[in-house]
Amino acid sequence: MIGRLKFFIQKIKSRKRIFLHIFAIVFLFALLAGIIGSTYLGKDKNISHANKNSQILVFDLDSGERVSVDKIMKNPKKGPPTPATPAKMTQVTVIIYNLGLNNSDAEKAIALPKEFVLSFSPYSENSFQLSQNAAQAGHAVLSDLPMQMKDATENPGNLALMVENNDFRNLNNLSAVLSKVDNPSGVLSEPGEIFTRSNNFVPVLQALSQHKIYLVYGGDGEDIDQRAKDNDVELLKVDTVLDETKTLPDFAAQLASLEDTSRKNGFAVGLIKSPSSDALEKLSKWAEELKNKNIKLNSSTK
């Protein structure tokens, strides 16, 4: 009796497995049929949609004709061209120094665009008033700072900072220089000086830092950056010394070199000593030309 019962149960299980296999096969066939059917239906819809677009006509503003929507969709109009990214504007600063010894030339320099930086000589009795006029005209104002020159035949004057002077005398001279110009924001060391390479320069740097006066450096010393940084003094180094005694093409080449430095570094500083009326006129015209060269003449010396 028990044997027959086991045989009956095994038979039921066998039939159940067969049924499950048949169900799985039927389900797979149904799923495959659904996928194939939806693909063909989608194609029919797309064809139907395309046929509708080919039948719809609209007015084309460019050709003045009625054209199908399908044609417009296949040949969309191009938008306006993407404008080119403008070149980054660079800056250039030009400092005119040794002003005040000739009133007429100083007044012409003051009449230049206010973006030119003007530096006045402490050896002119008129420098104080002229520097006031320059500041009122919008110029940044500096004071020339006479120093001992490499060429011993050049006399920097009795207010110069000298290597053989003690610190007391050099600091007195610095104070006297600063009093000759009305509230200068910086001082200028002339190209060819040797004082800034001496240890005597350190107390001067400390005094400039104390009075928040920055240094425009016209020399070529390699350690000036570190010395200024160590003494917390703002520093601006001259890139190009302009020489107006050159012929017009040479002078123009110097200005072009200054422009190239500006494009390369983003900023450039030019220096010119007491230019004549002709040189001032050239500089004024050059300043106008810069507007078309994506270069900004900058009065900021920091």
pLDDT tens digits for 13-28?
555 555 555 655 655 6
**Average confidence (pLDDT) over 81-105:** 82
Q: Which residues contact 206 (CB under 8 A, 6 or more apart)?
A: 231
The amino acid at 114? K
Per-residue model confidence (pLDDT) at position 8: 47
Query: pLDDT > 90: what percent of the chain?
Result: 60
Residue 66 lies in a domain: no
Residue 33 lies in a domain: no
Of the chain, the end-to-end C-alpha distance in Å amounts to: 111
Residue 296 near residue 290, CB atoms below 8 Å: yes
CA distances from 150 to 98, 147, 155, 190, 273 (A): 18, 10, 10, 11, 18
Residue 28 lies in a domain: no
Whether 137 has a pLDDT exceeding 80, the answer reads yes
The whole domain housing 119 covers 90-297
| Residue 216: half-sphere exposure toward Cβ, Cα within 13 Å | 34
Q: Tens digit of pLDDT for each residue in 145-196?
A: 999 999 989 999 999 999 999 999 999 999 999 999 999 999 999 999 999 9
Per-residue model confidence (pLDDT) at position 120: 98
Q: Maximum distance among all alpha carbons in the chain?
A: 139
Q: Which residues contact 261 (CB under 8 A, 6 or more apart)?
A: 239, 240, 268
Whether 47 has a pLDDT exceeding 50, the answer reads no
HEC assignment per residue over the chain: CHHHHHHHHHHHHHHHHHHHHHHHHHHHHHHHHHHHHHHHHHHHHHHHHHHHHHHCEEECCCCCCEEEHHHHHHCCCCCCCCCCCCCCCEEEEEEEEEECCCHHHHHHHHCCCCCCEEEECCCCCCHHHHHHHHHHCCCCEEEECCECECCCCCCCCCCCECCCCCHHHHHHHHHHHHHCCCCCCEEEECCCECHHHCCCHHHHHHHHHHCCCEEEECCCCCCHHHHHHHCCCCEEECCEEECCCCCHHHHHHHHHHHHHHHHHHCEEEEEEECCCHHHHHHHHHHHHHHCCCCEEECCCCC
The answer to which of 5-19, 91-105, 148-162 has the lowest mean pLDDT is 5-19
Residue 23 lies in a domain: no
**Average confidence (pLDDT) over 17-40:** 58
Q: Tens digit of pLDDT for each residue in 268-279?
A: 999 999 888 888
Residue 24 lies in a domain: no
Per-residue model confidence (pLDDT) at position 243: 83
pTM listed for this prediction: 0.71
CATH code, 168: 3.20.20.370
- How many structural domains does the chain have? 1
Residue 11 lies in a domain: no
Nearest to 109 by CA among 75, 148, 73, 138: 138
Residue 285 lies in a domain: yes
User: What gap in Å lies between CA 14 and CA 298, rounded to an integer?
Assistant: 97
Residue 96 near residue 139, CB atoms below 8 Å: no
Residue 194 lies in a domain: yes
The answer to which of 56-60, 214-218, 219-223, 291-295 has the lowest mean pLDDT is 56-60
